Structure 1
Amino acid sequence: MGNREDLLAGALTCLKDKGWARTTVRDIAAAAGVNHAAIGYHFGSRDALMTQAFMQAIEEWGEEVEAAVRASTDKDATPREQYEAFWRTAIASFRTNPKLWLATVEASIEAQHNPRIAEIIQEGMREGRSGLAAGLLGKPEESLDAEAKRTVGAVQMALMSGILIQWLFDPDSAPSGADIATGVTALAAHIGDAPSA
């Protein structure tokens, strides 16, 4: 690898290990095995490098989520079995690398002060809603209408954020795939039976 690639790998390692705010230029240079002046030469600033590393982290997380969706699409399984399989795979993926999820949470705070990070997160959300809806409904992504993305995709993304936060802070009592499927089913039944206002 060249210095640019080494710096990206070093920044990604620091992002996962130390988080956004606690990573210094010296940390990145040490992790990359290069002089810290190379950051300015290749990226212009620490923030620009961290933004690139964050983009890479988001892409990796997206690939893991996509793999979870693909793993849950056993055509012989019932929709509930597929949904439980999705969650088992997503939770296992999260537990393998919780620091990546934590870095994503921290970057969302950074996005309040960094328009580029906000753009990356927004684009990731749009792609995520579409991919999640397509995977869960078993349809090609290009065939989905805006409503499916806005409803199924957005609700699933919200569930993922909330569930993974629980796994991050309270893993001993965080819900399993079966718990989540049972909760979603019970909630849907309740809402479906509720009288209209």
Structure 2
Amino acid sequence: MGHREDLLEGAKRCLLEKGFARTTARDIVKESGTNLASIGYHYGSKDALLAQAYVSLVEGLSDAFTGEANSGLSAAPGSLERFREVWSNVIATMREPGSLWRLSAEIAVMGDQLPDVRDHLAQAQREGSRGFVALMTGVPEEEVTEDAVDTLGSFYTLLMTGLIFQWSFAPQTAPDADRLTEGLRRVIEATGPAGR
């Protein structure tokens, strides 16, 4: 690996160990075996490097969301069972020790302090919304429309954000996939034909 890749891998380890606010440029350099000048040369700033490392960590979870380790998603796209299956996989990642989602909560709270990072992560979040639509509907990501990202994708991202905070602060009462699915089923039932 070159310095760019070494820095990214070192930054990922620092984020998971120390979080965003407590990670220094020196921490990254020590962890990556590079030098301080490399951060500016390859990423522009420590915060930009940490933002890229965070996005890379989240992207690494895509297999967990689809359950590929257990042969992938089996429920029909667009079904309540697909909804339950995807959220069950997502929530399993929240239960793991040292969960990335605690880091997500920290970064969300720090957004106003890091406007350049916030803009970078906002774009990454939009692509994450696109990925959720693809997972739930079975439509390839490149075919997901902007309207679907703005509506369905926003809904799934909002749900994800709420889960991150609940699992970070009150895991003992945070909902599991069965409760989320039952909640959605009741919303659908309550709107019925008259609510459409």
Task: Give the TM-score normalised by the residue count of structure 2.
Answer: 0.79
Structure 1 vs Structure 2 CA RMSD:
3.0
In 1, are the aligned partners of 2:78 and 2:137 still within 8 Å (CA)?
no
In structure 2, what is the equivalent of residue 71 of structure 1?
72
Distance in 2, Cα, partners of 1:120 & 1:44: 13
In structure 2, what is the equivalent of residue 134 of structure 1?
134
Q: What letter matches 1:71 in structure 2?
A: G
Distance in 1, Cα, partners of 2:55 & 2:78: 35
Q: What letter matches 1:152 in structure 2?
A: L
1:184 deviates by: 0.9
1:87 deviates by: 1.3
Distance in 2, Cα, partners of 1:46 & 1:104: 17
In 1, are the aligned partners of 2:66 and 2:86 still within 8 Å (CA)?
no
Distance in 2, Cα, partners of 1:149 & 1:45: 30
Q: Does 1:183 align with 2:178?
A: no
Q: Does 1:22 align with 2:22?
A: yes
Task: Give the TM-score normalised by the residue count of structure 1.
Answer: 0.79
Distance in 2, Cα, partners of 1:181 & 1:58: 23
Deviations 1:38-61 (A, max 9, x none): 545554543343233233234324
Q: Which moved more, 1:138-147 or 1:88-97?
A: 138-147
1:109-120 alignment runs, 5 A limit: 109-120=109-120
Distance in 1, Cα, partners of 2:6 & 2:146: 40
In 2, are the aligned partners of 1:108 and 1:121 still within 8 Å (CA)?
no
Deviations 1:155-182 (A, max 9, x none): 1211121123212222222211111100
In 1, are the aligned partners of 2:15 and 2:23 still within 8 Å (CA)?
yes
CA pair 68-192 structure 1, distance change in 2 beyond 3 A: farther
Q: What letter matches 2:180 in structure 1?
A: I
Task: Provide the aligned length of Structure 1 versus Structure 2.
Answer: 194
1:131 deviates by: 2.1
1:1-197 alignment runs, 5 A limit: 1-36=1-36, 38-40=38-40, 42-61=42-61, 63-64=62-63, 67-68=66-67, 71-75=72-76, 79-96=79-96, 98-192=98-192
Task: Mark the runs of 5 or more structure 1 residues left unpaired by the alignment.
Answer: none
In 2, are the aligned partners of 1:71 and 1:89 still within 8 Å (CA)?
no
CA pair 12-140 structure 1, distance change in 2 beyond 3 A: closer
In 2, are the aligned partners of 1:134 and 1:141 still within 8 Å (CA)?
yes
Q: What letter matches 1:176 in structure 2?
A: D
Q: What letter matches 1:134 in structure 2?
A: A
